[in-house]
Amino acid sequence: MNFDHLFKADIFTVGQCVIIKYARLSPDRIRPEGRRGMSGRSDCLAALPGRNSETIAAISTPYGTGGIGIIRISGPEAFSVAEKIFRGRKKISEIRSHSVVHGRIIDPVDGQMVDEVLLVKMDAPRTFTGEDTIEINCHGGIVVLRRVLSLVLRHGARAAAPGEFTKRAFMNGRIDLAQAEAVIDLINSKTEEGSRAAAAQLQGKLSEKIRSARRKLIELIAHIEAAIEYPEEDIEDITGDEVLAGIAKVREELMETAQGSSNGRLLREGMTVAIIGKPNAGKSSLLNALSGSDRAIVTDIPGTTRDIIEEYVNIRGIPVRFLDTAGIRTTDDPVEAIGVERARAAAEEAELVIIVLDAQTGITDEDREVLKTSRDKKAIVMINKLDIADDLVVEAMKEQAAALGNMPVVVASVADGTGMDDLADKIGELAAGGQVSANSEILVTNARHMQLIEDAIAHLDSARSAFEGRMPLDLVTIDIRDAAEALGQITGESVGEDVVNEIFSRFCLGK
C-alpha cells in the first residue's frame, strides 16, 4: 500500500444528508502522535543526502580573464583542505576568523607554487552558508583558477552543484527560501530598480510579511481546535465573528502584498518591445539611439535589416528587450521575405510595438497595413525625422494615425534626439502606468510566490464560504490550514525536497 499521502476525513450531517469532507495530507504535515501540526522547516529537508557532511568547492567568479578569481570552500573539512595546500606565515588553525592573510598555494606533490593568493578564513556559523568557509582570492586567469580548484578537490572537497552554497545557507537556517531566490534575482537584475527589489527581498521584507500572515492563521487554527477538542478545559470559545475577522484580516494583507506583482514581474523579467515599420523609416537608428551603441547597421538602402536584432535597455527602471525588425513590405527577395515574416511574428509576440513612420514620405499604404494590424495590441506610433520634415505633413500624419487606431503618437527625431524622452515616458506608461519603483512597496517579483499567495487567498475564500455555509469549525480549519501551508512554501517552512531542488537548479555554479 502506498502511504505517500494520508487523508483526514470529517463526517457530519446536515438535515438528513451525510456529508464527508476530506483533505489530503502530505507526510511533512503529519506529526508522530498522529496529529497534523504547522511545524517549522519541513523534516524532509533535514534528511537531504549529504547535508553538512561533505565539504564543497567551486569557482565563484565568472570564467575568463580578470584581476581576481575566487575559489570558495564550505563544509566541515574546509579548514583542513586549505591547510594542505596553503602556505603563509600562520597555519590555517592559527588564523583569526574573518581575517585575510597573504600566502601561496602549493602543490604538495612536487612543492611547486601554483599562485600567490589572499585567503579569507570564516568560522561557522557567521558565514554565508552557516558552515566553516575558506575563500581563496587568486589571480583571475582561468588556468590558475582551475589548477587551484583541482588541488582543493584532490585534497578532500567535492565539486559543488549549481546553487549549492545558497542551498546550504537555506538548509542551515541562514536565510529562508524566498531570500535564497532573491540571491539569483539580484545576480540577474538588469536595472537599478530590479536590483533594489531583489535586495529588499534578500533582506527579508517579503518574508516578514508572509511569516506574519502565516503566524496569524496558525494562531487562529490553534484557538479553534483548542475550543473544539478540549471543551472541558477553561478555554474561551472563539466566536464566528472572530473567525471571519481573522480570515478577512489576513486576506486583506495578502491582497496588499499581491498588488505589486505586475510591477514586480516587470522589474524581474522586463518586457519585449518590437520596433516595426516599413524600410528606411529609422527603426535601426532608433535601436542604436536607445541602446547608446551602433548595434544595428544603418544605411539608406531599403532592406538592410534582414534578421531580428535585440538589445536590453533600461527604460524608466524597466528592463526592456527591444527587437529591431526587418522593414515590412512586399518583396521578391527570398531572404528579405523571410525577414519580413519574422518581423510580423515578432510584432505578434511582443508585449508592446513601436510603429516607426517616416515624416518625409507621409503615411503610405505599407504604413496603413502595419497600423491596422497593430490596433489590438499595446502600441506607440512614432513619427520620425521631425528635423527634416514639413510641419504640415507631420500634423496630417498625426491625424491619420489617430484615425487608424487609438494609439499614442510621439513626434521625434532620432538624428537629433528630439522626442526620445517622450517615447521613454510612453513606454513606461504603457508598461506599468509609469509607477515602477522598489522604494515604497514590497514587490512580489517571483511567479512561484505570486501563485502561492493567490492559492492562500483562494483557500481563505473557501474557509469563509464554508463558515457562512454553517459547516463545523473543524472543517473550516482545513481550508485555513491549507492557506498557511501555501504561505509556508514561500519561505520554506513547509516545502518538499523536489521544490527545493528545482529552485536551486536554476542557480549558477559557485553561488
Strand partners for 14: 17
On whether both 368 and 426 belong to a single domain, the answer is: yes
Least confident of 197-206, 352-361, 367-376, 441-450: 441-450
* Whole-number Å distance between alpha carbons of 181 and 169: 12
- Does 497 fall in a domain? no
Say what the pLDDT of residue 262 is: 56
On whether both 373 and 413 belong to a single domain, the answer is: yes
205 CB-near residues (< 8 Å, 6+ apart) = 442
- Does 132 fall in a domain? yes
On whether both 78 and 13 belong to a single domain, the answer is: no
Q: Residue 21: which pLDDT band, with cuts at 50, 70 and 90?
A: very low
Q: What is the CATH number of the domain that holds 111?
A: 3.30.1360.120
Total domains present in the chain: 4
Q: Mean pLDDT across the chain, nearest whole number?
A: 78
On whether both 290 and 230 belong to a single domain, the answer is: no
Q: Residue 107: which pLDDT band, with cuts at 50, 70 and 90?
A: very high
- Does 501 fall in a domain? no
As a whole number, mean pLDDT of residues 258-265 equals 63
On whether both 244 and 299 belong to a single domain, the answer is: no
On whether both 254 and 277 belong to a single domain, the answer is: no
- ∠ Cα 501 503 504 (to 5°): 70
On whether both 322 and 401 belong to a single domain, the answer is: yes
Least confident of 60-64, 157-161, 268-272, 405-409: 268-272
Contact 495, 45 (CB under 8 A): yes
On whether both 284 and 410 belong to a single domain, the answer is: yes
Least confident of 2-11, 71-80, 242-251, 266-275: 2-11
- Does 30 fall in a domain? yes
Say what the pLDDT of residue 232 is: 54
Say what the pLDDT of residue 297 is: 46
- Does 199 fall in a domain? yes
Q: What is the pTM of this model?
A: 0.62
Domain that holds residue 199: 183-260+443-491
Last residue of a domain, one of 161, 176, 191: 176
264 CB-near residues (< 8 Å, 6+ apart) = 197, 443, 444, 445, 446, 450
What's the number of CA atoms in the CB half-sphere (13 Å) around residue 470? 3
Instruction: Indicate whether 287 pLDDT > 70.
Output: yes
* Whole-number Å distance between alpha carbons of 50 and 39: 23
Note the pLDDT tens digit of each residue in 347-402: 788 888 888 888 888 888 888 888 888 888 888 999 988 888 888 888 888 888 88
Say what the pLDDT of residue 112 is: 93
Give the DSSP per-residue string, 362-429: -S-HHHHHHHHHTTTS-EEEEEE-GGGS-HHHHHHHHHHHHHH-S--EEE-BTTTTBTHHHHHHHHHH
As a whole number, mean pLDDT of residues 1-18 equals 37
Say what the pLDDT of residue 304 is: 47
Instruction: Indicate whether 421 pLDDT > 50.
Output: yes
Q: What is the CATH number of the domain that holds 458?
A: 1.20.120.430
On whether both 461 and 405 belong to a single domain, the answer is: no
- Does 375 fall in a domain? yes
On whether both 80 and 103 belong to a single domain, the answer is: yes
Say what the pLDDT of residue 436 is: 46
Say what the pLDDT of residue 90 is: 92
Q: Does residue 193 or residue 423 have the better pLDDT?
A: 423
Say what the pLDDT of residue 261 is: 56
On whether both 143 and 229 belong to a single domain, the answer is: no
On whether both 332 and 246 belong to a single domain, the answer is: no
On the 0-12 / 13-18 / 19+ scale of CB atoms within 10 A, 69 is: buried
Q: Does residue 401 or residue 495 have the better pLDDT?
A: 401
Question: Which of the listed ranges 14-23, 47-56, 93-102, 175-184 does the model predict with the highest average pLDDT?
Answer: 93-102
- Does 477 fall in a domain? yes
Instruction: Indicate whether 43 pLDDT > 60.
Output: no
- Does 1 fall in a domain? no
